[in-house]
Amino acid sequence: MKHALFCLLAVLQLAAHRCRAADGAAATVVRDVEYARIGAQGLLLDLHLPPGRARPPLIVWVHGGAWRSGSRKSMPLGKLVEEGHAVASVDYRLSTQAKFPAQIHDLKAAIRFLRGHGGQWRLQTKKILVAGDSAGGHLAALVGVSNGSAGLEGAIGDDRSQSSEVQGIISFYGATDLTTILQQSTPHGLSVRVPALDLLLGGQPDVVPALARLASPVFHVDKSDPPLLLLHGDQDPQMPVNQALELLGTYERVNAPARLEVVHGAAHGGSMFYDPERLDVVRRFLRKHY
């Protein structure tokens, strides 16, 4: 009798869970998915899946942290997941572990993995959008504008027959030109950016100019690049808004589709970038291009 009651309760709990999912009240998070391995180190992502939707469109999220810190656990697009998008939040080798271009090689490996294995989670992978904030915004932009660039492709992971190309970019307050960022920075910005660039590049941009250019999205733009949305605060003391203006101008010169949303009064990050008004900007971009 007790066993029968236990089974009945289990069935009812499962039915309740399914009802909650069908109502859109809960998303599924598949954690610690290994997308590649480098020696003994596994490279991981978390997959946030919307409830009640088969074949959701996919956004790859790249976390910030001055390239030297941060984690895939920080993923601010939960509202978009609730509304039907899948988000793969990706960890990559930090600059304390490996110098550039390791970070881009890892992210492109993650995209190839998702294309190769997306059917396991019934994802749409023909069109993938990449997004990120701060250092992650820089890396997302660089992934997007380097579609087809052999120098940044890398050979990480087991899915090298898959394409790493993306079909859209969203950069929240990210760098775009490492050759000019220090001249544009406030004293506070310099205190953050100088040591961060030392770790990322192995030296300051004027010491390693070729590597700084390779790491700068503005030097990779051409007319075939995917649509771009930039969101940047006009009071950002760490990542000057001129960085967004540079990439916007480069896109405009080649007639590629781009939009800059200036968040007036915003500094570096914060809830203003993910409030209903800004998320509506993101939604309109997704509807138009993705």
The number of residues in the chain equals: 290
- What gap in Å lies between CA 32 and CA 161, rounded to an integer? 23
Please determine, for residue 8, whether its predicted confidence score (pLDDT) is greater than 70: no
Please determine, for residue 31, whether its predicted confidence score (pLDDT) is greater than 50: yes
151: how many CB neighbours lie within 10 A of its CB? 10
In this prediction, residue 11 has a pLDDT band, given cuts at 50, 70 and 90, of very low
In this prediction, residue 2 has a pLDDT band, given cuts at 50, 70 and 90, of very low
| Residue 165 confidence (pLDDT) | 97
Contact between 111 and 167 (Cβ < 8 Å) = no
**Rounded mean pLDDT, 195-203:** 97
**Rounded mean pLDDT, 210-232:** 98
* Ramachandran assignment for 277, one of left (phi > 0), alpha (psi -120 to 50 degrees), beta (any other): alpha
In this prediction, residue 75 has a pLDDT band, given cuts at 50, 70 and 90, of very high
| Residue 30 confidence (pLDDT) | 97
Q: What confidence tens digit (pLDDT) does each residue in 100-158 have?
A: 999 999 999 999 999 999 999 999 999 999 999 999 999 999 999 999 898 899 999 99
Please determine, for residue 13, whether its predicted confidence score (pLDDT) is greater than 60: no
| Residue 290 confidence (pLDDT) | 85
- Residue of 197, 145, 195 whose CA lies nearest to 167: 145
**Rounded mean pLDDT, 217-245:** 97
Two tokens, residue 127: 């069109």
Percentage of the chain exceeding pLDDT 70: 91
| Residue 4 confidence (pLDDT) | 39
| Residue 17 confidence (pLDDT) | 36
In this prediction, residue 54 has a pLDDT band, given cuts at 50, 70 and 90, of confident
Percentage of the chain exceeding pLDDT 90: 87
- What gap in Å lies between CA 204 and CA 2, rounded to an integer? 70
Strands (E), the chain: 28-38, 41-49, 58-62, 86-90, 128-133, 168-172, 228-233, 258-263
Cβ contacts of residue 106 below 8 Å, gap of 6+? 36, 43, 90, 92, 93, 154, 156
Contact between 133 and 67 (Cβ < 8 Å) = no
| Residue 211 confidence (pLDDT) | 98
Cα end-to-end span (Å), the chain: 54
Contact between 134 and 64 (Cβ < 8 Å) = yes
For residue 101, whether the previous peptide bond is cis, meaning omega lies within 30 degrees of 0, is: yes
The side-by-side arrangement of strands in the sheet containing 41-49 is 28-38, 41-49, 86-90, 58-62, 128-133, 168-172, 228-233, 258-263
In this prediction, residue 189 has a pLDDT band, given cuts at 50, 70 and 90, of confident
Burial tier of 165 (Cβ tally within 10 Å: 0-12, 13-18, 19+): middle
In this prediction, residue 23 has a pLDDT band, given cuts at 50, 70 and 90, of very low
Q: Spell out the domains of the chain, with CATH numbers in brackets.
A: 27-289 (3.40.50.1820)
Please determine, for residue 89, whether its predicted confidence score (pLDDT) is greater than 60: yes
Contact between 218 and 228 (Cβ < 8 Å) = no
217: how many CB neighbours lie within 10 A of its CB? 30
Please determine, for residue 253, whether its predicted confidence score (pLDDT) is greater than 60: yes
